[in-house]
Amino acid sequence: MLAFPRSPTATETVPLSNIVIATRESRLALWQAEHVQSLLRQRGHAVSLLGMTTRGDQILDRSLSKVGGKGLFVKELELALEEGHADIAVHSLKDVPMDLPEGFALACVLQREDPRDALVSPRYASLEALPQGAVIGTSSLRRVVLLRSLRPDLRIEPLRGNLDTRLRKLDDGQYDAIVLAAAGLKRLGLEHRIRAVFEPEVMLPAAGQGALGIEVRADRTDLLALLAPLASQRDQLATAAERAVSRAMGGSCSMPLAAHARWQDGDRLRIDAAWGDPEGAAQLVQVHAQAEVTDPAQAVALGDGAARLLRQAGAH
């Protein structure tokens, strides 16, 4: 459920006694929760954090596509919301399933950080500089198919763990390079680790990449109104279109799917989408669509249209 709450009235802006944020305990997740905590405190609210470990954090020896998908990163946080231990949960939007469980709502999407992918390597300055047969790490099927289309000669190996764990594995020499979201590196002040960024024309980002989403129980209308001022309306519309592509395609981490929307002139939104075969049997499929978008229904319609184009072009 995508909620675009109405503006709060004066009576609804009275600070709650204490807003509890449920968050994963990785350094990046805590940065994200503390960022939202700071924004809310600036508006006069008392805010505390509830750190939690999710199943997605615990299972590191298998790919997410084989153990239940990205929902493993949010289920424990949703349980905390459901049982009243927390009021809101802060997520990397790309980790949020396209359809939330009944009774939950995506209250708002904050201003987006850099949505691009980044190459990190201690020795090589670009993807092109990697020698034939070099080992590059990623846990994303999307990145696997896109990297394979760019450099079929490379060895692509699985890479799990939080951002710090992935960087440590790289520094230990297990990989020649790894691909990470630029947003996470920038949020933690690790821009210096980025050797190159992939422009969307080269490596299309995942739906919602670089954006933070705040989840609440759908019946918490007080929180929906309170959180509304934190939303970036244009980023909210753009990511709604991206997530609509994934929803229409049945997207999850088990589907090598990319979707990225960018604003053109005025209210015109362009969305690019790509699908690839993880086994390499089918050719990479890429499409784009654009339309005037001023409300959530139009954003979803644009995403649905891009998904239809993908299927017509051979994606499944």
Does residue 143 contact residue 127 with C-beta atoms inside 8 Å? no
Is residue 61 flagged as an active site residue? Answer: no
Which amino acid, residue 254?
S
> Cα(73)–Cα(95) distance, rounded to whole angstroms?
7
Which residue, among 217, 205, 191, has the nearest Cα to 120 in the 3D structure? 191
DSSP conformation letters of 267-307 = TEEEEEEEE--TTS-S--EEEEEEEE--SHHHHHHHHHHHH
The number of angstroms, rounded, from the C-alpha of 17 to the middle of its chain's C-alpha atoms is 31
> Cα(198)–Cα(184) distance, rounded to whole angstroms?
15
What's 25's DSSP letter? Answer: -
Does residue 214 contact residue 90 with C-beta atoms inside 8 Å? yes
Q: Which residues sit opposite 52 in a β-bridge?
A: 24
Does residue 52 contact residue 23 with C-beta atoms inside 8 Å? yes
Residue 44 has a CB neighbour count (10 Å cut-off) of 10
Q: Which residues contact 39 (CB under 8 A, 6 or more apart)?
A: 110, 230
Which amino acid, residue 309?
L
**Catalytically annotated residue among 87, 95, 114, 235:** 95
**Residue whose structure tokens are 């592509």:** 245
Which residue, among 182, 196, 169, has the nearest Cα to 157 in the 3D structure? 169
Q: In Å, how far are 36, 213, 233 from 42, measured between CA atoms?
A: 10, 19, 20
> Cα(269)–Cα(296) distance, rounded to whole angstroms?
12
Catalytically active residues are: 95
